[in-house]
A and B are shown apart, each in its own frame.
Chain A
Amino acid sequence: MRLLKRWFRGVLAGLDAVLNRVYGWERNPIHQAGTVAVAMLLVLLGTGLYLVLYYRVGAPAASVARLAADPWLGGWMRTLHRYGSDLFVIAAALHAFRMFAQDRSWGPRTLAWVSGLSLFAAGLICAWTGFVMAWDSFGERLALEGARLFDVLPLFSEPLSRIFAGDGPVPSAFFFVNLFIHIALPLGLGIGLWLHVSRLARPALLPPRRLLWAIIGLLTLASVLLPAPLGPAADPLRLAPSTPTDLVVAWWLPLSERLPAGAAWSAGLLLSLLALLVPRFTRHPREARWAPSTVDPRLCTGCNQCPQDCPWEAITMVGRDDGSPTLVAAVNASRCVSCGICAGSCAPMGVGPTGRTGRDQLTGLREVTLPALARGGAVPTIAICCAQAPAAHRAALQARGAHVHLVSCIGNLHSSVIEFFLRSGAPGVMVGGCPPRDCSSREGPRWLRQRLLNGREAELQSRVDRRRVGLATLAPGALAETVAAFERFTRQLPAAPVPEPESNPDLDTECEPVPLEEAAK
């Protein structure tokens, strides 16, 4: 599983690199795959409402052929509906792929994974029933294969396949049930979607507006210019040499047709089971890198910042058990994904996963990083990088003389660490994180930016010279941009005189209400 994940990560990084280069990381559509899938659901809803007005269960093929032949609205609406369903499937699959590759498919994310798979399956079923509705040669092919598969199950007293044998017209009841499934399932998708994001704070459901309209506009243009062909009307007494097949939703069809029904079911069920068990296969022991966050009630002032910043709503404020009137933060370990963002939000450094609280970060600096740097002479410019950032970018920064300091996510970084570096003699600190929509902690870059530039708790203290602090996005495929950002940053540094290094800066007395020594007791 680890190998597979690494391979997936490599593929994803390659894909990201290409798309970042072409579109820029701000507009990379596959960073937005989940929200693009939701946007496509809306497109499907809009076009579907129009199409269903003209659909006749008594004359399915004729009514769809009439729609397809309408040059004004029906033709491209039908194609847009079809392309929308394809893009939904592609986007949902890419989203799942990313979640798996980035280790975001287990623990507290299990509900999102399982509900996401259900949404994906429901979307596929909607697509299949949609093609059957058209009742062209491809719809008939899908229906025949579906009937063949269902006929091995002890569900129906009469084999479904006989409906399509040709000794009578296909009953309208079949098309009615098919239409019912096609319409009823999307209603269930709403519930699935709610479950899918139910554990997220501030879920992003749609892509940024410009990207959203660009995608819809381009799909509409494609629908006008490249209308999806409709096969000849289904004829049970004629063998079609080929069918215009939608491989995005029916890629399995040629495989399944070659297998006995039992084997096709077994393969499908095995694949589904494996997908459902991904959270089980990919989980980690909840320790070290994956340890949930904890709160030190002696340090917590009850400021209510960490519950606001936690992207998984894992923190609530509760009454203290010592009878004092203030509230204290409490972490629900079963919802905590160990992203560490809360550690960066807490001015008194009272919360965070073990080893990654603000205090742990400062202790690491004081005891390990700075002594090592001091041994090498003057402290160089510091590049604080997200550990998920591409290794090539980190190496390039190092090659340009920066000391690379890794954090699990830049949202985990406590702003005091930046101040600590500067007060220890570093000429400047540049923080490099992932593209905001590709942050595996969801909101790391967003909160860090606000903490450094907009006074969000735990803000970078006003005494820190802002000219010595830089921000960069380390996006795969955009190495030149990373290097340029670093060089720009270092170029403007000499203008500002480097302050005298402090031998042992004590940030606690200025930032924290409780000294470290006392907290350690």
Chain B
Amino acid sequence: MPSQRTRAGDVLRFTWGALRGYPTRTLLMLIAMAIGVAAVVVLTSLGEGARRYVSNEFASLGTNLIIVIPGRSETSGLNPTTLMGETPRPLTLRDAMALQRSFHVRRMSPVTVGQAEVSWKSKSREVVIMGTNNELLAIRHWQMAQGRFLPKGELERATPVAVIGKKIRNELFGASRALGQWIRIGDRRFRVIGVMGSEGRSIGVDVQDTILIPVASAMQLFNTPSLFRILVEAKSRSAIEPAKKFALKTLQERHQGIRDVTVITQDAVLSTFDRVLGALTYAVGGIAAISLAVAGILIMNVMLVAVSQRTSEIGLLKALGATPHEIVRLFLAEAMLLSLLGSLLGLLLGQLGSLVVRHSFPEFPAYAPLWATLAAVIVALLTGLVFSLMPARQASRLDAVMALQKR
């Protein structure tokens, strides 16, 4: 006794034949589906690209970074120091050195920033001066073009040496040799010991347009007791939290129990961006998915047309013994096959689209996330299924006699 149920392979073959029998209709639906899926892929790859771009930018700041800023962040509202109208205590070099005494800290770099007149021979200009120590090179993953970076050794020693950015090197020295030359910064003289090689487009500072000098020299130069920032690199990702706690506790102890610094972790900032851009990606993905729903409505209409075009064929199938269920199956299979082919085409187009974006903007990593790709295909298939249910049922309910009379 045969199973009385059309075999899956036969359904597929019959359906494939039907699709090829109406090429215009098939093409139209394929394109509608493909555009929907491609839109999801391209838009989410842009969103994901933005997320990765920001993430990379942050990574270039340094890894496992903790940043200590003098003063309490405004967001924490009222606190004793603002109530008493005191200015926060300065963040000193000794504070910075105290932060090194933790097991969780790998590197520490104090930073102070200012502007000064820089001159060599007859040339001079205003330059951003950054006072720091040897560790900054490693923290920021910078490279030297020539010479060496600031010397290791005591933080409080004001050695008169300078490392200059590439742009400054070109502007001040032109074709002459920069290394070993004495330049004037403000009212002091510094010997050039190195030239920065890094691209150094990291947020806030353009290394190529900066001069780096020992932090003690910079504090003397700008006559300030306070650091602008302390950068702390934790030993690992998991050491970030304990290192942050350690920094807060140590500085509070050193500042007579008053918590007058803000400690931010790069992680926190990054995860905020991550969340925002991640949400954005979901949003554009969702919007693009709406175009899939539009494709679904198109599918419904075209399937309805298909049912009326093939009325006599449906009548015939019934006369040959197709059950209503079989007719539904055949039409659903047709819609599903279309959706599947359409989404494959869409994936191809979408990948091509992101490839073009990546090619045109090499620093922008526009890769569609896997979840979006899968979701697009699943939504496409579901749309195809849902919107072809009604036409399929309509086909299965056709009156066989009437259907056969139609030409």
- A joins B in a complex: no
